[in-house]
Structure formats: structure tokens, C-alpha cells
Amino acid sequence: MAKKVYVGLSGGVDSSVTAALLKEQGYDVTGVYMKNWSQDLPGFVCPWKEDYQDAKRVAVQLGIPFKLYDFETEYRQKVVDYMVEGYKAGITPNPDIMCNQEVKFKLFLDTALADGADLIATGHYARIHDGKLLVGVDGNKDQSYFLYRVTEDALRCSLMPIGEYEKPEVRKLAKKFGLATAEKKDSQGICFVGKIGIKEFLLAELGEQPHGEIIDQTGAALGEHDGALFYTIGQRHGLNVGGGLPYYVVGKDMTKNEVYVTTDLQDKRLWSKILTLASSHWINGEDVLAGDLQVRIRYRAPLVAVKHLEKTGDQAWQLELQNEVRAITPGQSAVVYAGDHCLGGAIVI
């Protein structure tokens, strides 16, 4: 009997092709739209209804059952609140990583299995082999960085078929299958709000923030910021200070409500070789942390060779890089690789 696969249909081309490929491969496929966020924001209409309809159209085209799972309450608690609290604390969290950890590969997986599924599938550009997470074939689209907190058990119950393809091939497959989403543009912006940026979202959530001073490397006050929580290490745009040389954010003090900037690209506060890490998660255990390792500090950043990785506490590690890296930011994730194998990672503190 064919295995039952519940595919997370987002209304985009990637998940649509995922469902089509699995049906073609002989799986018993059901499409599921996860309703994670439906709130409109000032000047922006949440596109969830349009996405839901597109997902439903694809399910009808493929002749597969279609369900809606309403995860809005849990999503707010596990992803949105996590992100907002992180920004309030002055760090830069990654909501997409938390969404994968808590919603797609925990809540969706558990709900689907309880509903009769044998497996789940998503439109991620990554590959799974024997409980291991591997990078996607398309290096430009690889999403393993966002998946490093998924458990081995969850991976063993998951499929990611488009990880074997380049993005242009996925578009061609969508046309070949005649899918309604074949020409649909990829969604931009933070994972749950479509076209709205993080600053606009935080303003809608938290309201106007107290202004404070922007201070340069000499200690001089250059101007005023509109809320320290909106600024991240290495940021260059949106400072509205000076002319002449560009300024870069090198730090902030949430208690004093000050943002620190420099025009010196060699400023020691911008560069680091040592990362202090917390909340580690190693997909296949710590034993795999051997040999030539590399780390990615942010999505699409180049891989950097690891010189030394040492455990310093329960989920705490210190990581030394071969070369200095610019703008390492508390709250971001450092994700560790051995070749194509994504081993896991931890949060920069």
C-alpha cells in the first residue's frame, strides 16, 4: 500500500511541485495549508487568503485531498513572541528557524501523523538521507541553514524532493505539471508577513520606541535613532547620520538606549574570530563534530573554516574561526557543516 504523505502546501511554486513530484512517485498525497498568520498590518494586507486559494487550486489540479490546519495561536506563541522578545532584548533572532523547529517539523508533523499520515513533505531546498540533513543541490537556494534545529526523528519522517533540483528546473516542472502557481513570484519579507519588513512589523507590534543617541567611535553624538531595537550589528542603511563615509552599527546599549557606530571598516568591534554559542542543537549528536568543519554565520553568507570547536557547558560552545568575520550578531545562528552535511548549530550570544 502507498505511503501517506501530507505535503505542506503554502500556495507557492516550490510546495506545489513537491506535491506533484510525490504523487508522480506513487505516494498517497494530501495537501495541507498551514494557517499560521492572518493579521493585516498598517498599509499591508496579509496574503493568506490568496495563498490558501492557490494551494487549494493546486490540490484540485492534482486530484488530491486538501486540508487546512489552523496553527495561528501556537505560531504566535512559539515564533512571533520569540522574535519580538528577542528584538526587545537587543538581539537579532531568526523567526524562520524557529518556525521550522516548532511549527513545520513539530506541530505540523505531530498533527499529520495523528491524522493518519506516514510522512510529511515540504518545499525546502535541502535533502534528507538516512536521518541526515544535506544541503540542496541548488547552492543559491539551499535552505539547510534554516533547518538546523530540526531533529533526526523529524527528518526520518520527512521528505524534501525539490532539494534535488535547481530552482529553474522547479519552475519548468511546475509548467510541465500545468500548476496554477507555475508563474507565481517567490514570497519575500519575513516568513509570516509577506511583503512587510521587520521594522514595520515591530512598529505594528510594539508601537513607537523611545529615541536615543547615535554615538560614533570618538564618543561624539551624531544624531538620534528611533529605537535601539531596530538596529543590528553591521547595519549600514537607515541610520540617517552624516554624509561622507558610511557608518556601520558596531553595538548598542539597550539600558542606555544608545546605538554605537563607526566609519572604520577595520574597527575591532566589527570583526571577530571567536564565537560564544548557546542553545546548541546537533541533529545527529555531538559525535559527528569532527574533521574539517565549516560554519555559516547568516543565510547565504560564505562558509568559513572552523579552527576549533569546544564544548563549554550543557548547550554552550566556543567556536574559533580560521579567519575573522564581520558583523557577528547576537541572536543569529551559527550553523556548522562537514561538506554537504549540515550537522546543526547554535545561537550566537
Enzyme catalytic residues: 99, 191
Dihedral sign (CA 164, 159, 35, 180): positive
Q: How far is CA 157 from the centre of its chain?
A: 21
Sign of CA dihedral 138, 140, 123, 283: positive
Q: Which residues pair with 5 in a beta bridge?
A: 29, 119
> In 131-160, which positions are buried (b, 16+ CB within 10 angstroms) versus exposed (e)?
ebbbbbbbeebbbbbbbbbbbbebbebbbb
What's the full length of the chain, in residues? 349
User: On the CB side of 327, how many CA atoms lie within 13 Å of its CA?
Assistant: 15
Q: Kind of pairing, strands 66-70 and 28-35?
A: parallel
Q: How far is CA 319 from CA 20, 64, 93, in A?
A: 42, 47, 19
List the Cα angle 306/312/318 in 5-degree steps.
25
